[in-house]
Amino acid sequence: MSIISRGFHGRRRPDSDRLPPGQYLVDDFPVLSAGPTPQVPLDRWEFAIDTEAEQTHRWSWEEFQALPMETPTADIHCVTKWSKLDTTWEGVSLDVLFEDVETAAEYALIHSYGGYTTNLPLEDLLDGKAWLVHRFDGEDLEPRHGGPARLIVPHLYFWKSAKWVRGIRLLNEDWPGFWETAGYHNYGDPWREQRYEGD
């Protein structure tokens, strides 16, 4: 039973069945990260998938650009309570990146330039659920939003959509990432309001 705050009426917003509980809509694009924005020159950029068998699949910027691109449109939900509907991106489906990756691992640890990490079950990256993107809204992705390239995993809270992504390590055992070790939920489903540890 929640407690009524006397005199609070709230600002009724148009009901949307696309808005998870506790979220509100924004039109701008807030920025949240734990430290300064890393600057990653394209000639030094690379993306790598490391399997549990220590095999590495690597892409340079040119190789990444040559992959088949998709233009997903997605709703994104940040744990700090804003949601943004119909964001448009351009990038490569993780299914493409995983085509030649042989693995029996169940977990993925994403790591970024700048040291950020976040974990999720591998199946949450596959079957059209995640993209490595380099463009937002028709423009190259700004560094503050994760450029040159970031991950987009729209069905989980946005901290799982790592910015400045540099690679994915596949693991047989789950390994909590940056926010997951700092009190945030290990999985982060916005529809179940999995914000903090224990939710």
Partner 1 sequence: MPPRLAWRAAELVEIAGESATARTLCFRVPGWPGHLPGQHVDVRLTADDGYTAQRSYSLAGPADGDLVELTVENFPDGEVSPYLTEVIEVGDQVEVRGPVGGWFVWRPESKAPVLLVAGGSGIVPLMAMIRARRQAGSRVPFRLIYSLRDQDRRFYAEELRRPDPGLDVTYLYTRSAPAGASRPPGRLLLDDLAEGGWPANFEPDCYVCGPTGFVEAAADLLVALGHAPERIRTERFGPTGGS
Angle CA 196–198–199, to nearest 5: 65
CA nearest to 175, candidates 112, 106, 113: 106
114 binding partner 1? (CB under 8 A): yes
Counting residues that bind partner 1 (by CB under 8 A) gives 43
Residue 184 phi, psi dihedral angles, 5° rounding = -90, 165
Residue 16 binds partner 1, judged by CB under 8 A: no
Where does this chain touch partner 1 (CB under 8 A) — which range of 43-51, 127-135, 149-157, 180-188? 180-188
Pair of tokens at residue 41? 């020159």
For tokens 């994760």, the residue is 146
3-state secondary structure of 190: helix
Under the criterion CB under 8 A, does residue 88 sit at the interface with partner 1?
no
Among 57, 135, 145, 155, binds partner 1 (CB under 8 A): 145
Among 55, 65, 73, 80, binds partner 1 (CB under 8 A): 80
Quick one: 68 or 198, whose CB is closer to partner 1? 198
Distance separating alpha carbons of residues 186 and 20, to the nearest angstrom: 18
What residues numbered 34-63 form the site for partner 1, per CB under 8 A?
Answer: 34-38
Determine phi and psi for 181, rounding to 5 degrees: -85, -5
Binding residues for partner 1, rule: CB under 8 A, are 2-12, 22, 24, 26, 28-38, 78, 80-82, 114-115, 144-145, 178-179, 181-183, 195-199
